[in-house]
C-alpha cells in the first residue's frame, strides 16, 4: 500500500505536468506563427509530458539506487565482513517499524555480597 506522501507527490506531478502541457498547447494554438512562442510552447508541452510520464519513476528509482549505493558508507569501511553483512541483512529484512515507542529502562549495578 503506497504511503500518503507518495500519493500526494504523484498527484502534484500530474497537476504540474497537465498545467505545463496545457500552457504549451495554448501557446502553440493561439500563436502558431511566432517563432519564439512556438519554441516556448514546444518546450512547455514536452516538459509537461515528461513530468507526467517520467518524473515520478525516475525520482523513485534514483532514491532506491542512492540508498543501496551509499549503504556501505553509512556502516563504515572498517567493519569486519560478518558484522557488515549482518547489519545489512537487519536493515533490508526489517518489515515492522514502531512509531512513538517509549521504553523506560533502568540500569543498576548488581553486586554479589560474600557475607
Tens of pLDDT, residues 47-64: 888 888 887 778 778 877
**The pLDDT of residue 8:** 58
Q: What is the pLDDT of residues 62-114, one digit of tens each?
A: 877 777 667 667 766 677 878 878 877 887 787 777 788 888 888 888 777 66
pLDDT of residue 75: 66
pLDDT of residue 1: 44
- Residue spans of the domains in the chain: they are 4-93
SS3 61: helix
3-state class (DSSP) for residue 36? helix
72 in Cβ contact with 84 (< 8 Å): yes
Q: What is the DSSP letter of 29?
A: H
Helices 4-30, 56-69: inter-axial angle, 10-degree rounding: 140
Amino acid at each position: 500500500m503506497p504511503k500518503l506522501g507518495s500519493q500526494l507527490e504523484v498527484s502534484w506531478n500530474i497537476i504540474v505536468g497537465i498545467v505545463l502541457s496545457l500552457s504549451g498547447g495554448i501557446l502553440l494554438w493561439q500563436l502558431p506563427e511566432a517563432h519564439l512562442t512556438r519554441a516556448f510552447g514546444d518546450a512547455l508541452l514536452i516538459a509537461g509530458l515528461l513530468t507526467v510520464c517520467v518524473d515520478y519513476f525516475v525520482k523513485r528509482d534514483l532514491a532506491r539506487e542512492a540508498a543501496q549505493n551509499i549503504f556501505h558508507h553509512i556502516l563504515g569501511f572498517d567493519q569486519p565482513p560478518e558484522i557488515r553483512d549482518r547489519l545489512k541483512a537487519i536493515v533490508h529484512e526489517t518489515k515492522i517499524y514502531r512509531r512513538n515507542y517509549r521504553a523506560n529502562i533502568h540500569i543498576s549495578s548488581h553486586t554479589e555480597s560474600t557475607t
